[in-house]
Structure 1
Amino acid sequence: MKYVLALAFLLLNFACVYNLSILTDDSGRNITDLDMKNIDAKNADVVRQLLNQETLIRMALVRNVHILMKDMVDLKEKLESMESLQQSTEIKVTALQQEVSDLKRENQKLNLKNRKFEETFNIIEGNFTQINDQFENFAKEFEEKREAFETNTSTVLGDLKIEVRYLSVTLLDLNKHTLERDKIIPVMMEEKCNVLSAMFNASLDTLNNDLADASTKLSKSVSNLENSQNAIVASVFGDINITLGNLKTEMKQSQTDQLKLSATVSSLEVFRMNVTNNHCDLGKKVAFTAGVTTTSTVWNSGTLVFNKVINNVGGGYNPNTGIFTAPLNGDYVFYVSIQSYSNDYSIYIDIVLNGSSKVRAMAYKLNSNDGYETGTNMVTLRLQQGDTVWVKHYSGTGYYTLSDAPITTFSGFLT
């Protein structure tokens, strides 16, 4: 196509260059150069009109040639742009062909990977089938073991129930025996005090008798001494100094014996007073037991108040503050027991004397499956009248108890 257009363009240029005209039979001569002498007057107008028409036609042809040349230039530019576009298109086609080749190679690789994946999937499917079979076997074995475990658990629970019953009976017997001992101990102490008092009275009577006998003997000795002195003065005046010396010696010895006897009587009197005081103190027993009736999951500071008083002989324990105040001097024994709250809690508490921690009890969780844990401790303290003892928080959170029979308790007594 481009060659045809180029040939037409050359022909038009050739026609313009050589002034070719269709009306003049391709003659290059201008019609104005004709010899007008040979043309008659009648045809002159026709010739002029023809010449004018030829001029107009030639001008129109020139304009058309210029327009055509412009169109040819535009067409040439478009052809050049089309050639560049074709080249870029060929480059893109080449690139696309290369991409197609790459895609084909990647497709082949993907096909290979797909085959490998299919093989792997087949292997996994086989393994899954095997695992499924093994799981079914495991489920059957687990069910059998679970049934066996439930059977064993039922047996163990039955044994535990029997043991708990035996333990409950033992605890009841122990509690009964303790109550009996609590009833018997005051009676025994009273009997022993009576026996001791009787023995003391008998010993005191014996000492009084011995003292009376010693006084009588001393009086007799003094009388005998006076008689001896008179006899010696009357009989032998020369030995009076010796006799007086002997008398002085005997008198000194008698005074020593009398002083010893007086000291013995004083000691016995002091002993009698001490025994009497101790006998009187037996009526001033000090003992208490108190418990907590409300479970707490948030207690983590301060004094633990045991609000339920089970026993408070001597009135030393205050259930409103949780503090024991010693009413008498002496050696006291204190005991504390605390129960942790559920599987997620641990608790530490201290027995405190006048603000100073003495011993610590802990209910500590090694892991969350341990269940309830109990912490206990006991301490012996020498107290003066007015000293205070209580239980305070050290670490951990919460505690567990019961309202009717407290589990978390605090006890103490005078030894």
Structure 2
Amino acid sequence: MKYVLYFVLLLLHCASVHTFSIFTDDSDQNTTELDMKNIDTKNADVVRQLLNQETLIRMALVRNVHILMKDMVDLKKKHESMESLQQSTEIKVTALQQEVRDLKRENQKLDLENRKFAETFNLVKDNFTQISDQFKDFAKELEKEREAFETNTSIVLSDLKIEVRYLSVTLLDLNKHTLEREKIIPDMMDEKCNVLSAMFNTSLETLNNDLTAISTKLSKSVSNLENSQNAIIVSVFGDINKTLDELQTELKETHNSQLKLSASVSSLEVFRMNVSNNHCDFGKKVAFTAGVTSSSTSWNSGTLVFNKVINNVGGGYNPNTGIFTAPLNGDYVFYVSIQSAGADFYDIYVDIVFNGSSKVRAMAYNYNSNDLHETGTNMVTLRLQQGDTVWVKHHSGTGYYTHSDAPITTFSGFLT
């Protein structure tokens, strides 16, 4: 196509430059001048017309040549644009071919994945079928178990109804028995009190006989008399406590008699206190001495409990709490002795306390740096009413020292 265009252009150029005419004897002449010598006069008009026609034809040819050249230029531009378009088209075709190849590869991958998905789907379908079958079997078993459970539940409910009837009967019997016990309790209390009074009177008679028998030997055996008296008191209190515990055990077995039991126990406690007071009035003696059996390097607060009782006439001192409770009205003398823990613990201060109020203070102060034990003592006389309390409490300092067999730190008191 390119060579054809070049050939046409060449022909047109030749036609525009070298125009041959039959009127010029095929000579290369671009002029319209005539050789008037060789032309006859009668043919002048014809020749003139022919020349005019030739001129018009040349002008038309020139105009056509220019139009053709313009068309050739446009055609050339279009050809160049077509070539660029062809190149871009080839590039796009190449890209499209590459995309087609990529799509083919992706299609192959998708085919593989589709096959795998089909296999997985078939496997899941099989598993689902198996699960469906198993679910049906499970539903059947569950239905059987539900029916068995309903049957067992009916049986259990029947048994429960029977047991509830028996329980109702038992509760009615228990209520009846409780009412009978509530009627019997006052009689039992009276009987126990009578027995207790008889035992106490017998003990008092025995004590009076013993005191009469040894009255002539009183000056020589005062200590033996006190020991015998203490043994008898312990025996009497033991019998009273034992009887009280048995009565409490019997009364606690009843279901709805707690208020009456509390009232009965309170009356027995009052009775026991009256017995104790009557005996103390008989003896008119109250005295105690107690000590601490183990040393301490950390005691720094609270009540000091003297756990080892050496003597406790009248039973006023409690070794479990460290508190003395006055069993009688009167004037009492109290004495405390405490020893410091050693060189690393410089001092210890304790107070004798009367009904929560500190009265006197004992101080054991170690003023040396060597390993010494200092002793602090103090004594006080107090007028007590029955039920007043006295004890020893910590004031300041840390620790104390004592012995287990013969206590060094002690607390004493007696009725004057």
- TM bin, normalised by shorter chain, reads 0.3 to 0.5
Normalization by structure 1: what TM-score?
A: 0.43
